[in-house]
Amino acid sequence: MQSPRSLLVLGATGKCGRRVLLRALARGWRCSAFVRNPARLPEALRLRLVELVRRFDGGRAAGAPASATASATAAAAAASAAASAVVPHEYVRKLFDGYSKHFDAHLVQALGYSTPGRLMRLVLEAAGAASASASASAGAGAGAAAPRWARCADLGCGTGLAGVEARPHVGHLAGCDLSGGMVGEARARLRRPPPLLPPSSSQSPLQSPSRAGDGLGTNVAPPAPLYERLDVAEIEAWLRGPAARGGFDLVLAADVLVYIGPLDGVFAAVAAAMAAAPAGAVAGAAPRLFGFSTEAFPGEPEEAAAAPEAAAAPEAARGEEAAEAPPGFALTGTGRCVHSRRYVRRVARASGFVERRVQRAAIRKNAGVDVVGDIFVFEFEGRLE
């Protein structure tokens, strides 16, 4: 496997230098930067550097070297910013705008990214278990239909990789992302394969039906966009805006929460959107589910997936939380956030969610090494006060 390339950028705070740095980091290169004023680099960008070298020009003695250097590793920079653990929106926007055209190929092929498929399989598993339980309670026979949701929100939709997985199971698919470049790629993505239209009454009996996708017959449906709605927007604002007016009974966030530290606001906004979903949209069909991925908190041992009844037991959970050191999330040297399972569970319960599934998996690669994360599925059961 080819090792990541290394790059030293001189004058990284300038317009050209910063653009070069963003593109190199997006391709997984190991980057160092040489700057006069480190404060002019966005914090999240500094955290992804292997080394940040500051140039001192002022106050040097005659005959002294023209510059001296002082280095700080990305880990040290991360430690100084750990309290905030927030990745700036502008950084995320610029990073992915420059990354959008080759995002799919690099993420899937180079980084071994498979989170959308894993996430949707776990969502379907959780929904199937809930449907089977409901059927058993009602005395219905086996063979329940595959779960289907009325309205699905794809948070941080990117180029639409999660949307492709969700599309067969939802009636209406909407997505949002901070990056206009990524939304543009998602907007161009079509459903596939196009379905065959039934022969029209005006079709001559001598006309033979065309094959799907050959583009020659009148009975082939034109390719439809993957999403019914796409917006360039921040997640929480979007979930509380016009796009969520009809509510959502399925919400997905694949590899998105890693760019958000505190999750209270996200869970509260998802809960509000699910509470707004009409009862008929979920009754007798599929439970209201929130599926998402996180990066695992360093040193936290893998635990067994919580059973529904265990997840709903607040007293037992409070005992677990007492042993957890706050805040349960942190910004790392990669410019991404990690979250502990205990923190996620606590925030989820506070917004009326019950855990249905959790799975630890390698969610992608970084410099050829597996990045370990958690894939969660929570069911919304509570009412907002």
pLDDT at site 221: 64
CA pair distance 173, 171, nearest whole angstrom = 7
- What's the pLDDT at 6? 74
For residue 216, the model assigns a pLDDT of 45
Q: Can you give the pLDDT at residue 218? A: 52
- pLDDT, position 198: 55
What topology is assigned to 103-136+147-195+214-380 in CATH? Rossmann fold (3.40.50)
Question: Digits of tens for pLDDT over the chain (385 positions)?
Answer: 455 677 778 777 777 878 787 777 777 777 777 777 776 777 666 666 655 554 433 332 333 232 333 333 334 334 444 445 567 787 788 778 776 677 777 677 666 788 999 999 999 999 987 665 555 554 544 445 567 899 999 999 999 999 999 999 999 999 999 999 999 999 999 886 555 555 554 444 444 444 444 444 455 667 889 999 999 999 999 999 999 999 999 999 999 999 998 999 999 999 999 999 875 444 456 899 999 999 998 878 766 434 444 444 444 444 444 444 456 998 887 788 999 999 999 999 999 999 999 999 988 877 778 889 999 999 999 754 4
pLDDT score recorded for residue 308: 43
- In this predicted structure, what is the pLDDT of residue 210? 42
Sequence ranges of the domains in the chain: 6-81, 103-136+147-195+214-380
Q: Please enumerate in sequence order all residues whose Cβ is within 8 A of that of 113, keeping only pairs 6 or more positions apart, or say none.
A: 107, 161, 255, 363, 364
pLDDT of residue 104: 72
What is the longest distance spanned by two Cα atoms in the chain? 97
Burial of 267 (0-12, 13-18, 19+ CB in 10 A): buried
Amino acid at the residue 56: F
